[in-house]
Structure 1
């Protein structure tokens, strides 16, 4: 009997071993939980009662579509329920922030499928800056007449390093002015509309510490003006435009001044007119996916191919290339346009492609003309076709 009690005592100590961890470890554990569940840990024991009150990680999420289907409700009840849930979600966040007001935070995350009021979003950002947050992520929709005005303090915050804004599936998040962040290192904008109204030609002026910029399905509304990006420490640039979006939502020309830029990822219906300037020599890796299906005839095909060749020439110093099947299909559509032209790459060491279509040999051979020592990663029977038809291009090379 005594042995059984002893075993039970040992098991009890083992089960509560997590409570003996320091607060910083417990805070890290809570960071993986939604805040509504993290709050509930206070009932576990006295040890846990104050853990959440001092946590520097706040994660709020809500999915209205899980509880309400517009097909099940008439318009008025659905709208009333939506407004009630949105107001309740905002009020819940405000109460938690008020309760945490005496402590600094590291990261604030809000993810929902609700259209949040811009004043509320502004207040959350202001709170984050006051409490020295290092990361802010907000994913929500906004009314197109309700544009987000960032608090002035966010532009000069020395603690904030990462900012991510994401519009929801059906609504953009609307921003009404240029964004010059003095100390920000990472900026990710997904489904965000940067209206030309209220912006200078340079949408991201004065970002001396920015190292990563990601623009995914954003509306830049600058078709007739170049999109100018100047960031002396920028290393990674991602620009992804959806095939379904209107061409007016993306710029026709992008001018980049970033002498430390080493990686560019581009996806879009058309090749982009890029002017790299001083960053052409620092570029190490590119990832290109042109999704155009040539639905408008031969004139369109020729224009896209010539534009793609011009775009690739801006990447002439890249050592590693990831190229999609779509891109190679575009490049191979009119083989005569590639005859007599030099490959755009002079320093290529590695190229990756996944395809087994022999019809794509012209475009593939064109890319490798000036790079006899390139290491090419390919899939299927294309390797055999290349070895037989473009042996001269691979002479002395190391191909796999």
Structure 2
């Protein structure tokens, strides 16, 4: 009885999709399973290179050269991924970059792991007329290791993700069609103030970044800004911002100050105090900075604060009484839970409630609570009385 070869009957599109999820070396080896698949790897639209299967980078470089030289060039390449271990070898990076850009590849990802030295990539990696999605990232790096010496030249680029990157000047002004920019674990070197000049940018995400003084975001089309645990004193953002999500750790230098009276059309604002513990000393100066920041966000319509922030400013009722209620456009105020010990406990002083809601009396006040937990909510209008609700 003959067994039907179902693998060989699979359509090429499905085979391509399956093999594109694999390292290209594994894809080549897999093609040996069927005589009909023998040359399928030469027409894969997505190339996924990894040095994981090679003991030395020079052998990996030879393999890269073999794959690129034997590929079916009549088949369009849609994306290329490169992952390698150790310091960058300019030869194989240059080969892959030149091949990708000469074949009008629209998506390129370059990532590296386990390197203790600064990655220096060839300049050709940062210039393409066709590329639309570009990612450069590092894993398990001890230093911010990637640094470019000239502005990125990607006139067609719409999405850019950079991690462990060192910024030292204007990098983005030539990316005239850039819509989405993510900078993660970056530092600013050689200058105190950095300009992010992006004329078409819509979404900007800054994660674990460090700058000695300020970041100027010159992006008139910017709508959504996310900042998470960044360390710089000031951020100048465009006035047309619609959405702001800001997460910070409470330390003397962690709270970013926004330019005064810059936000006039904020729709959605989320502010979260991360890694805060009740045992940490509460400082009036930190509370003052939080209150000043909230006043700068006065135009918000939908405001979400995590409970740690609410509790923190509630510890300083006299300070709250010195500041006018900033929010006159609120439609909804949401308080997110915080976990302390075995229960979720939230304390809001009457001064805090007045500060947040006095100028928006019709605003809806809601709380986000997780499921299947022990919930407790404390509302303390005065220091002598308290009411408790169980959910």
TM-score range, shorter chain: 0.7 to 0.9
CA distance in 2 between counterparts of 1:341 and 1:93 reads 64
CA distance in 2 between counterparts of 1:326 and 1:88 reads 53
- Scaled by the length of structure 2, what TM-score is found? 0.73
Query: Cα distance, 1:292 vs. partner?
Result: 7.3
Partner of 1:45: 34
Q: Secondary structure at the match of 2:187?
A: coil
Partner of 1:224: 192
Query: Cα distance, 1:169 vs. partner?
Result: 1.2
Match of 1:239 among 180, 195, 206: 206
Higher percent of residues as helix: 1
Partner of 1:165: 136
Query: Cα distance, 1:53 vs. partner?
Result: 0.4
Match of 2:176 among 184, 204, 208: 208
Q: Secondary structure at the match of 2:80?
A: strand
Partner of 1:74: none
Partner of 1:394: none
Q: How does 1:119-158 map to 2 (within 5 A)?
A: 119-140=91-112, 144=117, 147-151=120-124, 154-158=126-130
CA distance in 1 between counterparts of 2:122 and 2:227 reads 29
Across the aligned residues of Structure 1 and Structure 2, the Cα RMSD in angstroms comes to 3.7
Q: Secondary structure at the match of 1:255?
A: strand
Q: 324-333 or 52-61: which moved more?
A: 324-333
Q: 120-129 or 270-279: which moved more?
A: 270-279
1:146–1:381 Cα change, 3 Å: closer
Partner of 2:254: none
2:215/2:236 contact within 8 Å kept: yes
Q: Secondary structure at the match of 2:174?
A: coil
Partner of 2:81: 109
CA distance in 1 between counterparts of 2:269 and 2:154 reads 26
CA distance in 2 between counterparts of 1:270 and 1:343 reads 26
**Structure 1, unaligned runs of 5 or more:** 65-81, 243-248, 391-399
CA distance in 1 between counterparts of 2:181 and 2:61 reads 29
1:34–1:222 Cα change, 3 Å: same
Match of 1:99 among 70, 75, 91: 70
Query: CA offsets, 1:222-271, max 9 Å, x none?
Result: 7721x3223333222111117xxxxxx33532222334433222111658
Query: CA offsets, 1:142-171, max 9 Å, x none?
Result: 66565334317x53422x111111123124
1:126–1:363 Cα change, 3 Å: farther
Query: Cα distance, 1:137 vs. partner?
Result: 1.1
Q: Secondary structure at the match of 1:277?
A: coil
1:266 aligns with 2:249: no
CA distance in 1 between counterparts of 2:374 and 2:318 reads 24
1:88 aligns with 2:59: yes
CA distance in 2 between counterparts of 1:92 and 1:334 reads 64
Query: Cα distance, 1:20 vs. partner?
Result: 3.6
Partner of 1:397: none
1:173–1:385 Cα change, 3 Å: same
Q: Secondary structure at the match of 1:239?
A: strand
1:385 aligns with 2:378: yes
2:213/2:232 contact within 8 Å kept: no
Q: When the two structures are aligned, how many residues end up with a matched partner?
A: 345
1:96–1:169 Cα change, 3 Å: same
Higher percent of residues as strand: 2
1:30 aligns with 2:23: no
**Structure 2, unaligned runs of 5 or more:** 243-264, 339-343, 383-390
2:181/2:205 contact within 8 Å kept: yes
2:201/2:221 contact within 8 Å kept: yes
Q: Secondary structure at the match of 2:97?
A: helix
Query: Cα distance, 1:85 vs. partner?
Result: 2.2
Partner of 2:215: 254
Q: How does 1:237-386 map to 2 (within 5 A)?
A: 237-241=204-208, 249-268=210-229, 273-280=234-241, 283-291=266-274, 301-324=283-306, 327-328=309-310, 331-332=313-314, 334-339=316-321, 340-343=323-326, 346-349=329-332, 351=334, 353-355=336-338, 356-359=344-347, 366-371=355-360, 372-374=362-364, 376-379=366-369, 384-386=377-379
2:198/2:219 contact within 8 Å kept: yes
2:345/2:376 contact within 8 Å kept: no
CA distance in 2 between counterparts of 1:128 and 1:292 reads 42
